Amino acid sequence: MPSLTTSAEPELTFNAHLGEGPVWDENEEKLYWVDILSAKLLVYDPSRKTNMEYDTGEHVGAVALRKPGGLLLALKTGIAFFDLESRKLTRILDPEPGLSGNRFNDGKCDPSGRFWAGTLSYKQVKGAGSLYILFPDLHAERKLREVTVPNGMAWNHDNNQFFFIDSPTGTIFTFDYDDKSGMISNRRTVRQIAEAEGSPDGMTIDEEDGLWVALYGSGKVIRIDPESGDTLHEIHLPVPNVTSCTFGGPGLDELYITTARENMSALDIKQAPLSGSLFKAKVPCKGLPVSRFSG
- How far apart CA 146 and CA 130 sit, in angstroms, is 6
| Cβ atoms < 10 Å from Cβ of 168 | 16
Q: Are 37 and 59 in contact (CB under 8 A)?
A: yes
Q: Is 119 helix (H, G, I), strand (E, B) or coil?
A: strand
Q: Are 285 and 57 in contact (CB under 8 A)?
A: no
Q: What are phi and psi of 50, to 5 degrees?
A: -110, 150
Q: What are the residue ranges of helices labelled H in the chain?
A: 266-271
Q: What are the residue ranges of helices labelled H in 134-231?
A: none
- How far apart CA 132 and CA 276 sit, in angstroms, is 28
Q: Are 22 and 36 in contact (CB under 8 A)?
A: no
Quote the DSSP letter at residue 37: G
Query: Is 201 considered catalytic here?
Result: yes
Containing 266, the helix (H) or strand (E) segment is: helix 266-271
* Nearest C-alpha neighbor of 154 from the set 112, 230, 209, 222: 209
**Max CA separation in the chain (angstroms):** 51
- Which residues is 62 bridged to in the sheet? 74
Q: Are 31 and 22 in contact (CB under 8 A)?
A: yes
Catalytic residue among 201, 206, 225, 230: 201
Report the catalytic residues. 201
